[in-house]
């Protein structure tokens, strides 16, 4: 059976995890956490990076940082993971969903402005599959209308927009190190990226249970106490140790995934030329990270048959994201602005093929053969 995902492991992680197990400190902000944060600060050339237990936690911190309160509106696409919305709903926001661009499955940037009201506090961008949105268009709107820009770059580490790293364009960006993402901190993990200088100090406080303990540890104050809203958003040192092993191999992992992605693309191109399905579209401004390889089939009925056929032939493929606006909680906490021309219909066509670090060339060739057989038996 070819699995859909395998958590990334380059065999470089184990030594750092073992070293941490034998050390006298396993709680957060230790040796490896500091190494990782410095690495990210240099890579992203930003004001502050803070490791978190998950991307969900980093998004929750973002909502606190921009002071989301009851009645505020937050604009996003409906084709995303629940945490993109949930983090803001937790602080009382109403979610305003708008339609996607069917070519990239990202938010349709041209619909954002019409959805803005006097209550709009932020726009959240998701770079689906690590392929960037057209960020310049969005930054122009958020600057002119004085609205916060948050990038849920959960899938987008090592993805770029016009050669600048994703996660560095918004006031705040977030990464996920869940085991389904390109880089993992041992199953769960995340990063909060603060690009707006004004938010740095409070981010440290929110992450340390609402205390100024981080400043105290740096020797800037002589005692620490409860000063603001907050929670516990430090990952264990074991997570950071695992992540450090991956950061030393960032390029190796990126290249391996891109090789797989490009091979899929090349082998499947002749079939897509016959209009049997659509391949992913990468805009000129995007330099992606091969997070997802997907096909878009005719409709949900064909997709169900396709997934079953692949499974009968020992290949696991999956679909995801029931659009949030049509889910039980989405109906309660959000509303769809404008028409759902593409979100539902395109989401029902999409299927994700196996994609992970270490996927073998012969496995990809086998998967493509199975796909070919599926279309000849139609």
| CA 26 – CA 73 distance, rounded (Å) | 39
Nearest distance in Å: CB 321, ligand PLP: 9
State the first-to-last Cα distance of the chain, in angstroms, to the nearest integer: 24
Among 16, 32, 79, 81, binds ligand PLP (CB under 6 A): 81
Q: Which stretch binds ligand PLP (CB under 6 A): 7-15, 54-62, 139-147, 332-340?
A: 54-62
Among 150, 154, 205, 238, binds ligand PLP (CB under 6 A): 154
Q: Which of 313, 320, 290 is nearest to 371 (CA)?
A: 313
Shorter beta-carbon distance to ligand PLP: residue 133 or 268:
133
Q: Which residue has the tokens 């969903």?
A: 97
Shorter beta-carbon distance to ligand PLP: residue 154 or 268:
154
User: 309-345 burial, b for 16+ CB within 10 Å, e for fewer?
Assistant: bbeebebbbebebebbbebeebeebbebbeebebbbe
Among 112, 126, 295, 350, binds ligand PLP (CB under 6 A): 126
Q: Check binding of 105 to ligand PLP (CB under 6 A).
A: no
3-state secondary structure of 121: strand
Q: Check binding of 207 to ligand PLP (CB under 6 A).
A: no
Shorter beta-carbon distance to ligand PLP: residue 55 or 364:
55
Angle at Cα 19 formed by Cα 17 and Cα 25, nearest 5°? 90
Residues in 3-32 at the binding interface with ligand PLP, rule: CB under 6 A: none
- Helices 31-44 and 14-21 cross at an angle (nearest 10°) of 140
Which of the 8 DSSP states describes residue 231? Answer: -
Q: Give the contact letters, 161-200, x = binds to ligand PLP (CB under 6 A), - = no.
A: ---------------x-x-----------x----------
Number of H helices, E strands in the chain: 14, 13
Among 155, 195, 289, 344, binds ligand PLP (CB under 6 A): 155
Among 20, 33, 56, 256, binds ligand PLP (CB under 6 A): 56
Q: Which of 288, 307, 282 is nearest to 297 (CA)?
A: 307
* Binding footprint of ligand PLP on the chain (CB under 6 A): 54-56, 80-81, 83-84, 126, 152, 154-155, 176, 178, 190
């Amino acid at each position: 059976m070819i699995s859909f995902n395998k958590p990334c492991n380059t065999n470089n992680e184990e030594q750092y995890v073992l070293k941490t197990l034998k050390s006298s400190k396993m709680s957060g902000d230790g040796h490896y956490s500091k190494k990782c944060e410095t690495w990210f600060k240099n890579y992203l050339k930003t004001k502050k990076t803070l490791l978190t237990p998950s991307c969900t936690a980093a998004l929750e911190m973002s909502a606190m940082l921009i002071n989301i309160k009851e009645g505020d509106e937050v604009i996003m696409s409906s084709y995303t993971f629940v945490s993109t919305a949930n983090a803001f709903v937790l602080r009382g926001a109403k979610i305003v969903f708008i339609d996607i661009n069917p070519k990239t499955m990202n938010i349709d940037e041209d619909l954002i402005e019409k959805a803005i009201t006097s209550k709009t506090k932020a726009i959240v961008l998701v770079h689906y599959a690590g392929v960037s949105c057209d960020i310049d268009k969005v930054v122009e709107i958020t600057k002119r209308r004085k609205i916060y820009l948050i990038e849920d770059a959960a899938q987008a580490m090592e993805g770029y927009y016009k050669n600048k790293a994703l996660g560095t364009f918004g006031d705040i960006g977030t990464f996920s190190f869940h085991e389904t993402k390109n880089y993992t901190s041992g199953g769960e993990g995340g990063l909060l990226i603060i690009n707006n200088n004004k938010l740095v100090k409070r981010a440290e406080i929110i992450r340390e249970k609402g205390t100024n303990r981080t400043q105290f540890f740096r020797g800037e104050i002589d005692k620490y106490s409860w000063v603001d809203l907050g929670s516990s958003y430090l990952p264990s040192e074991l997570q950071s140790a695992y992540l450090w092993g991956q950061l030393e191999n960032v390029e190796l992992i990126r290249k391996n995934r891109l090789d797989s992605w490009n091979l899929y693309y090349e082998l499947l191109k002749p079939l897509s030329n016959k209009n049997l399905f659509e391949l992913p579209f990468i805009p000129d401004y995007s330099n992606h990270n091969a997070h997802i390889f997907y096909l878009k089939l005719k409709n949900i009925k064909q997709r169900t048959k396709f997934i079953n056929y692949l499974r009968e032939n020992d290949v696991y493929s999956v679909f995801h994201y029931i659009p949030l606006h049509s889910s039980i909680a989405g109906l309660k906490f959000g509303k769809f602005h404008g028409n759902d021309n593409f979100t539902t219909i395109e989401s029902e066509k999409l299927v994700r093929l196996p994609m992970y670090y270490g996927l073998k060339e012969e496995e990809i060739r086998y998967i493509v053969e199975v796909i070919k057989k599926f279309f000849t038996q139609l």
